[in-house]
Amino acid sequence: MRASQASTAATRDWALDRLGRPIALAELARHAGMSVRTFSRRFRDEVGMTPGQWLTRQRIEHARRLLEVTDLPVDRIADEAGLGTGASLRRHMAQAIGVAPLAYRQTFRAKASEAY
């Protein structure tokens, strides 16, 4: 990337602080000060995936952390991670890691207790 080209890093950081709410592609582009087309191209060049794919991955990772460290219900975790409903979280986790949220929580906690 040329020095004259802006990065999407600051916008990615901005989005990470807002995972619990809807974030449109146009909003990301506006935050970065780019057109949607330029932002999408630059984002893919930097990250290797589309902004939507990246947001979903970040939301799943946030949900996983919440499953690991809280006793929040699945529906609440889905909402806080920006995935909407428990059904949506279950679908996304099954696609991403092949495990349902409660099974992930149980497995993670079992492994954590074995470590002590």
Calpha distance 88→100 (Å, rounded): 11
Whole-model pTM: value is: 0.88
DSSP the chain: --TTSPPSHHHHHHHHTTTTS---HHHHHHHHTS-HHHHHHHHHHHHSS-HHHHHHHHHHHHHHHHHHH----HHHHHHHTT--SHHHHHHHHHHHHS--HHHHHHHHHHHHHHT-
What CA–CA distances, in Å, run from 34 to 19, 21, 49, 79? 21, 21, 18, 29
Can you say how many angstroms the Cα of residue 14 is from the centroid of all Cα atoms in its chain? 12
Calpha distance 5→89 (Å, rounded): 36
**pLDDT digit of tens for each residue in the chain (116 aa)?**
443 468 999 999 999 999 999 999 999 999 999 999 999 999 999 999 999 999 999 999 999 999 999 999 999 999 999 999 999 999 999 999 999 999 999 988 777 667 65
